[in-house]
Structures are given as structure tokens and as C-alpha cells.
């Protein structure tokens, strides 16, 4: 059985699911935790300069939480663990969500819809303000309000 070393910050975060997989399978591993202050010094030693990172025998290092989870699930199946445990590990893995993906999709939709509406309204208001200025009107249009000037 290979020796595993999990590298992550001193906290739970994204590496916690990996630790849970090791503990559920009963596979021993080394847990190397970094403080944020020392991370800048050793950042370039890791692929993609990100954590968590799983180091295996031979110095091979694998970054990214989901890739590590998939790899470990396949490795644990090959260790001939009980089928119910492997099924449980796959269920945990399949139900993980990456909030970054959902947030980026939401922001992309928000920006594409509301920013275009805002810019078109702002554009027409600025044209209207120019028109009012040229027609010697007493209204001044701002992006959020209009002000009536009494003379």
C-alpha cells in the first residue's frame, strides 16, 4: 500500500472530505498542515500552486480536491474494501458541490441580464440629458434620479 501525505492549511476546508475518506477507509496517511504565513515560501513546490495536494510514493503530487477524491475512491476499491463502504464513498463524492461554480454561473447570468439593462437605461438617460440640455430645458437627469430646477 502506498504512503500518502495530504498537504493543506491548518484548518478543515476543502481537505476535510479527503481526511474523511482516509478515516472511513482506515487507510493511514500523513497530514501536513501549513500556516498561512509559511505558505508563501513553499507555494512554488506544488503543482498549480494550490492546496490541497496529495503526495504519493515517488514524489508524485496531485492537486485539486475533486481529483484527489476520485483517485482515492478508485484506489480504495482496488484495496478490496467492502462494497458498501465504496458505495458510501462514491455517494459522498457525487453529492459534493463546488460553490465557486454555482457562484460564477449566477454572476455570469446576473451580469449578462442586469448589466445590459442598466447600461442601456444609462445610455438612454444620458442621450435624454443631452437632448434636454440642447432644448434649454430645466431638468437635469442623473443615472438614479431627475432634479427639477426652479428658476
pLDDT at residue number 106: 75
pLDDT at residue number 90: 67
> Residues 11, 74: one domain?
yes
Look at residues 87, 88, 19 and name the one whose alpha carbon lies nearest to residue 54.
19
Q: 74: domain range?
A: 5-96
> Residues 140, 104: one domain?
yes
> Residues 57, 9: one domain?
yes
pLDDT band per the 50, 70, 90 thresholds, residue 29: very high
Q: Rounded mean pLDDT of the chain?
A: 75
What is the rounded distance in angstroms from the CA atom of residue 36 to the CA atom of residue 8? 10
- Residue 101 belongs to what H/E stretch? helix 99-110
What is the rounded distance in angstroms from the CA atom of residue 22 to the CA atom of residue 8? 15
As a whole-number percent, the residues of the chain with pLDDT over 70 amount to: 68
pLDDT tens-place string over residues 59-108: 888 888 888 888 887 787 766 666 667 667 666 666 665 666 667 777 77
pLDDT band per the 50, 70, 90 thresholds, residue 149: very low
**Lowest mean pLDDT: which of 17-21, 86-90, 133-137, 145-149?**
145-149
Domain count, the chain: 2
- Residue 110 belongs to what H/E stretch? helix 99-110
The residue out of 96, 114, 135 marking a domain boundary is: 96
pLDDT at residue number 80: 61
> Residues 79, 39: one domain?
yes
> Residues 70, 32: one domain?
yes
What is the rounded distance in angstroms from the CA atom of residue 146 to the CA atom of residue 128? 11
Contact between residue 141 and residue 129 where contact means Cβ atoms under 8 Å apart: yes
The residue out of 96, 111, 134 marking a domain boundary is: 96
**pLDDT surpassing 60 at residue 148:** no
Query: The domain that contains 15 carries what CATH number?
Result: 3.40.30.10
> Residues 92, 25: one domain?
yes
> Residues 12, 80: one domain?
yes
pLDDT at residue number 23: 87
Look at residues 44, 29, 138 and name the one whose alpha carbon lies nearest to residue 76.
29
Amino acid at each position: 500500500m502506498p504512503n500518502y501525505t495530504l498537504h493543506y492549511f491548518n484548518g478543515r476546508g476543502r481537505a476535510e472530505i479527503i481526511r474523511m475518506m482516509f478515516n472511513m477507509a482506515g487507510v493511514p496517511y500523513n497530514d501536513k498542515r501549513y500556516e498561512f504565513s509559511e505558505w508563501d515560501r513553499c507555494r512554488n513546490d506544488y503543482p498549480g500552486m494550490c492546496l490541497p495536494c496529495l503526495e504519493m510514493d515517488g514524489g508524485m503530487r496531485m492537486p485539486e480536491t475533486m481529483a484527489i477524491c476520485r483517485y482515492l475512491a478508485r484506489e480504495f476499491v482496488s484495496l478490496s474494501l467492502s462494497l458498501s463502504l465504496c458505495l458510501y464513498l462514491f455517494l459522498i463524492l457525487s453529492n459534493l458541490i463546488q460553490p465557486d461554480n454555482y457562484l460564477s454561473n449566477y454572476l455570469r447570468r446576473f451580469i449578462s441580464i442586469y448589466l445590459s439593462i442598466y447600461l442601456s437605461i444609462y445610455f438612454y438617460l444620458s442621450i435624454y440629458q443631452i437632448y434636454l440640455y440642447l432644448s434649454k430645458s430645466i431638468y437635469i437627469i442623473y443615472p438614479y434620479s431627475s432634479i427639477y430646477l426652479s428658476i
